[in-house]
């Protein structure tokens, strides 16, 4: 497996025409946007899961209190 260093990448990018660099930048920005959207979806799912867990915890506490009373 060949490891490419940041210096090697920088040299290769410096040799590319501006159009190619712009295309790489657009692709990178699009990928970052996609990752941001995915992260937002995961955060929403996590919030839903936390609310569900809190609901279960509340139900467990109520059941525990009822068992203590009887």
| Angle (CA) 27 43 41, round 5° | 50
Q: Supply the pTM of this predicted model.
A: 0.60
Confidence at residue 13, expressed as pLDDT on a 0 to 100 scale: 80
The per-residue pLDDT for 64 is 87
Rounded CA separation 16/7 (Å): 15
How close are the terminal C-alpha atoms of the chain, in Å?
A: 68
- For residues 16 and 23, is the Cβ–Cβ distance under 8 A? no
**pLDDT tens per residue across span 16-43:** 888 888 999 999 999 999 999 999 999 9
Domain edges within the chain: 6-69
């Amino acid at each position: 497996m060949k490891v490419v260093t940041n210096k090697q990448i920088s040299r290769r990018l410096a040799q590319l025409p501006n159009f190619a660099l712009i295309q790489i930048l657009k692709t990178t920005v699009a990928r970052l946007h996609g990752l941001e959207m995915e992260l937002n979806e995961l955060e929403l799912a996590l919030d839903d899961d936390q609310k569900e867990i809190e609901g279960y915890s509340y139900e467990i506490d109520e059941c525990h209190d009822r068992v203590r009373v009887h």
